[in-house]
Chain A
Amino acid sequence: MVVAILQNISLIILITMVYHYVIRDLRAKPITVSIIGGLLFGSVSVLAMMSPVRFEAGIIYDGRTIILAIAGLFGGPLTAAIATVMAAAFRLFYIGGPGAPTGATTIVTASAVGLAAYYWRRKTGKELTFKRLIAIGLLVHIAMLAAQLMLPEQRWKTILPVIALPILILYPLAFYLVCKLFLDNEERARDRAMLEESEARYRALFQNHRSTMLLVNPDTGVIIDANLEAEKFYGWPRGELIGKPLVSLSASPPEETEERIKAALASKNASFLCRHRLASGALRDVDVAAGPFVYLGRTVLSLIVHDATARVEAENEVRALNQNLERKVAKRTQELEDANRELESFAYSVSHDLRAPLRALEGFSTLLEEEAGSSLDETARHYLDRIRRNASKMSQLIDDLLRLSRIGRQSLERSEIDLSAMVRDVAEDIAAQYPGRTVSMRIQEGMTARADKALLEVALVNLLGNAWKFTASVPEAVIGFQSMDRGGETIYSISDNGVGFDMAYSQNLFTPFQRLHDEREYAGSGIGLSLARRIFARHGGRIWAEAAPGKGATFFFTLGG
């Protein structure tokens, strides 16, 4: 009997395999699938009933419960209904016999349990595990055994002990196995649907993408696909692009293109700049991103091509501009260096060649005075004196001029300076040069500065010297030195109560050899303030003045960073 049941089950498995190949491979509407499914399940049930285990005439046992439960579980209501009607009709009217009502009931309960499981699964979305399938199988066959109670003459008493155990062990297991086949099939179908969908998506993406894209056979180097943008860019219809060797697009030597294909296949992604030829014959600089790509199960080379002509042109332009600029800068630098060297040699000549004649002038007029002084009259001696004074003055002017030019060339070395102390020292030195004068100095305490010590001292000597000089006629001379903060910048100032000057002439104040006062009254070469201005300018600072005639002057300066 067990062997007979096993044979029966094998038949079912074989038949159901045929089912899902037939059903699932047909691409049909759901309702059609349900109807065909119902007819198939019904037919298979009928087939199963035609090779049963025959207990006695009219009482047969077969795998129909398994088939109908599956029809319910996987096929749904319509499939289950069609299969149930077919199977029940066959059992009642074709086979008949004393087991007919029991057999028909079994058919109905099996498909009902399967359908209940179908709804449970749809509602909860739970997975059909081994345990759950076995439980469903047991339920179906407990109902089947219960239906045996309907047999006439209480035959169940003799039948049930024989069939109960094999049925409750083997049928749920067979049910599980067949279900497993259906589940695998379902999963495969889902995978294939997803694959088809992703392929369709990919095709759409590839075709309509705004980038120019090509697919190339890596073995032959021939283009196997091109998108719409590629048609537009290259100017060949897709049909012509496909089949063209990639090297025929490239303006580079073929070996280079082949090298690049190899490199792109080896690495995940390669990008390079090259030139492609269009259908029109025009050349375009292009950025190509290339990499291996699995397409329909094989590795191909994908190329994404971007027109870089505008960028390359812009780059070339920038490069040309840069080179031009560099050339210009080099030329200017050379010019500046030349000018500086010229200035340097000019200063050298001035100090040598211009002074020598002065020495002769001065020397020989002195000697003339010594030799012939007694025989010269007053006027002649006065003229000689004028010659000598002017030679001395010119010598002083040359020295000042050289000092002025040296400040511009000298390097600047900043250090922390106690400015209050420096001003005090300079003031003391100047005071010593004017022994007869009393000047009251008001120097703010605690002033500091970051500047070149030697240069700053030269500037202070000139500024304070001026303040001294131009307060000579004032009975109580007062000179102040102070600092203030204006918007984060420190402004220093030197003020005096001297003769001052008219601001109308202030634009000449810092020009070399320009004087605002009579030389006979106030000695000096007129270089002091231009020296000071140059020194502050070298520091990145500036100098300016405020004054009024007879009301003193104030000079302000800053020392930059």
Chain B
Amino acid sequence: MSAGLSENTAILLVEDNPDDEELTLLAFKNNRIANPVYVARDGAEALDFLFRKGAYADRDQKSNPRLVLLDLKLPKVGGLEVLKRLRAEPATQALPVVVLTTSNQDEDIVNSYRFGANSFIRKPVEFGTFNAAIRELGYYWLLLNEVPPAH
């Protein structure tokens, strides 16, 4: 991931629940967010994808994400652990990460920010509200937000 973030367009969705995955993808579609979306179904896969290891060793640089949507409760490696590790790597240190999760337990919010999350959003139960949240989120992080240039 040596290329600058500004050139990236992809979204990495880290989500183990197929229902939530489908709903999120539908929300992207509803809101005409056409950026390429990659889905990692557990924490280990997310790390492999980000660091181009394992199954993703030969991944094209062009699929480097501009935004990570991260669930916390994940199989294998938890969301907080993923966050900690990607903040430890220079290449992914500045990568925007939005924690998108079902829980709104105080300790989850506190820990997410402590480990370097850029935002914390609780998935609303109502699809209408969820849809609106995804719209705002895409608009802010993919259009408004400026990322560091390539070095």
Residue of chain A at shortest CB distance from B107: A348
Are A351 and B20 in contact, with the CB atoms below 8 A?
A: no
Residue-wise interface mask of B (114-130) relative to A, using a CB-CB cutoff of 8 A (1 in contact, 0 not): 00000000011111101
Are B20 and A352 in contact, with the CB atoms below 8 A?
A: no
| Alpha-carbon distance A357/B23, docked complex (angstroms) | 12
Tell me which residues from 346 to 396 in chain A have a Cβ below 8 Å from any Cβ of chain B.
Answer: 347-348, 351-352, 355-360, 362-364, 366-367, 388, 391-392, 395
Which residues in A have their C-beta under 8 angstroms from that of B105? 347-348, 351
Are B130 and A359 in contact, with the CB atoms below 8 A?
A: yes
With both chains docked as a complex, state the minimum distance between the C-beta of B104 and any C-beta of chain A, in angstroms. 7
Which residues in B have their C-beta under 8 angstroms from that of A358? 125
Task: Judge whether B73 is part of the interface by a CB distance below 8 angstroms.
Answer: yes
Which residues in A have their C-beta under 8 angstroms from that of B128? 366
Residue of chain B at shortest CB distance from A398: B125
With both chains docked as a complex, state the minimum distance between the C-beta of B42 and any C-beta of chain A, in angstroms. 15
Partner of A352, one of B19, B103, B124: B103
Task: Judge whether B17 is part of the interface by a CB distance below 8 angstroms.
Answer: yes
Which residues in B have their C-beta under 8 angstroms from that of A351? 102-105
Are B19 and A360 in contact, with the CB atoms below 8 A?
A: yes
Partner of A359, one of B20, B26, B73, B103: B20
| Alpha-carbon distance A356/B22, docked complex (angstroms) | 13
Residue of chain B at shortest CB distance from A363: B127
| Alpha-carbon distance A388/B26, docked complex (angstroms) | 18
Q: Is the interface of B mostly helix, strand, loop or mixed?
A: loop
Knowing A352-B73, A391-B125, say if A363 contacts B19 (CB, 8 Å). Answer: yes
Which residues in A have their C-beta under 8 angstroms from that of B23? 359-360, 363-364
Knowing A360-B20, A367-B26, say if A355 contacts B125 (CB, 8 Å). Answer: yes
Which residues in B have their C-beta under 8 angstroms from that of A360? 17, 19-20, 23
Q: Is the interface of A mostly helix, strand, loop or mixed?
A: helix
| Alpha-carbon distance A351/B130, docked complex (angstroms) | 17
Partner of A395, one of B73, B103, B125: B125
Which residues in B have their C-beta under 8 angstroms from that of A357? 19
- How many A residues, CB 8 Å from partner? 19
Residue-wise interface mask of B (1-41) relative to A, using a CB-CB cutoff of 8 A (1 in contact, 0 not): 00000000000000001011001001000000000000000
With both chains docked as a complex, state the minimum distance between the C-beta of B61 and any C-beta of chain A, in angstroms. 34
Are B126 and A362 in contact, with the CB atoms below 8 A?
A: yes
| Alpha-carbon distance A395/B123, docked complex (angstroms) | 12
Which residues in B have their C-beta under 8 angstroms from that of A362? 125-127
Are A359 and B19 in contact, with the CB atoms below 8 A?
A: yes
With both chains docked as a complex, state the minimum distance between the C-beta of A94 and any C-beta of chain B, in angstroms. 131
With both chains docked as a complex, state the minimum distance between the C-beta of A476 and any C-beta of chain B, in angstroms. 38
Which residues in A have their C-beta under 8 angstroms from that of B17? 356, 360
Which residues in B have their C-beta under 8 angstroms from that of A388? 126
With both chains docked as a complex, state the minimum distance between the C-beta of A232 and any C-beta of chain B, in angstroms. 73
With both chains docked as a complex, state the minimum distance between the C-beta of B95 and any C-beta of chain A, in angstroms. 25
Which residues in B have their C-beta under 8 angstroms from that of A355? 102, 123, 125
Which residues in B have their C-beta under 8 angstroms from that of A356? 17, 19-20, 102
Which residues in B have their C-beta under 8 angstroms from that of A367? 26, 127
Which residues in A have their C-beta under 8 angstroms from that of B125? 355, 358-359, 362, 391-392, 395
Residue of chain B at shortest CB distance from A348: B105
| Alpha-carbon distance A355/B130, docked complex (angstroms) | 13
Residue of chain B at shortest CB distance from A360: B19
Which residues in A have their C-beta under 8 angstroms from that of B130? 359, 363
| Alpha-carbon distance A262/B7, docked complex (angstroms) | 94
Residue-wise interface mask of A (103-144) relative to B, using a CB-CB cutoff of 8 A (1 in contact, 0 not): 000000000000000000000000000000000000000000
Residue of chain B at shortest CB distance from A369: B127
Which residues in A have their C-beta under 8 angstroms from that of B123? 355, 359
Which residues in A have their C-beta under 8 angstroms from that of B20? 356, 359-360
| Alpha-carbon distance A457/B125, docked complex (angstroms) | 27
| Alpha-carbon distance A362/B130, docked complex (angstroms) | 11
| Alpha-carbon distance A258/B126, docked complex (angstroms) | 89
Are A352 and B102 in contact, with the CB atoms below 8 A?
A: yes
| Alpha-carbon distance A480/B141, docked complex (angstroms) | 50
With both chains docked as a complex, state the minimum distance between the C-beta of A124 and any C-beta of chain B, in angstroms. 101
Which residues in A have their C-beta under 8 angstroms from that of B19? 356-357, 359-360, 363-364
With both chains docked as a complex, state the minimum distance between the C-beta of B120 and any C-beta of chain A, in angstroms. 14
Q: Name which of B17, B124, B127 has the most chain A CB atoms within 10 A of its CB.
A: B127
With both chains docked as a complex, state the minimum distance between the C-beta of A522 and any C-beta of chain B, in angstroms. 23
With both chains docked as a complex, state the minimum distance between the C-beta of B96 and any C-beta of chain A, in angstroms. 24
| Alpha-carbon distance A348/B23, docked complex (angstroms) | 23
| Alpha-carbon distance A391/B129, docked complex (angstroms) | 14
| Alpha-carbon distance A324/B126, docked complex (angstroms) | 55
| Alpha-carbon distance A357/B18, docked complex (angstroms) | 11
Are A392 and B126 in contact, with the CB atoms below 8 A?
A: yes
Knowing A356-B17, A356-B20, A359-B19, say if A366 contacts B127 (CB, 8 Å). Answer: yes
| Alpha-carbon distance A164/B130, docked complex (angstroms) | 147
| Alpha-carbon distance A355/B126, docked complex (angstroms) | 11
Residue of chain B at shortest CB distance from A347: B105
Tell me which residues from 15 to 56 in chain A have a Cβ below 8 Å from any Cβ of chain B.
Answer: none
| Alpha-carbon distance A362/B19, docked complex (angstroms) | 11
With both chains docked as a complex, state the minimum distance between the C-beta of B45 and any C-beta of chain A, in angstroms. 19
| Alpha-carbon distance A409/B124, docked complex (angstroms) | 25
Partner of B102, one of A359, A363, A391: A359
| Alpha-carbon distance A348/B102, docked complex (angstroms) | 10
Which residues in A have their C-beta under 8 angstroms from that of B102? 351-352, 355-356, 359
| Alpha-carbon distance A360/B124, docked complex (angstroms) | 11
Tell me which residues from 314 to 371 in chain A have a Cβ below 8 Å from any Cβ of chain B.
Answer: 347-348, 351-352, 355-360, 362-364, 366-367
10 contacting pairs across A/B (C-beta < 8 A): A351-B102, A351-B103, A357-B19, A359-B20, A359-B102, A364-B23, A366-B127, A367-B127, A388-B126, A391-B125
Q: Which 6 A-B pairs have the closest CB atoms?
A: A360-B19, A363-B127, A366-B127, A395-B125, A363-B23, A351-B103
Q: A360-B17, A366-B127, A392-B125 are known contacts; what are 19 more A-B pairs with Cβ within 8 Å?
A: A348-B103, A348-B105, A351-B102, A352-B73, A355-B102, A355-B125, A358-B125, A359-B19, A359-B20, A359-B23, A359-B102, A359-B123, A359-B130, A360-B20, A362-B125, A362-B127, A363-B23, A364-B19, A392-B126
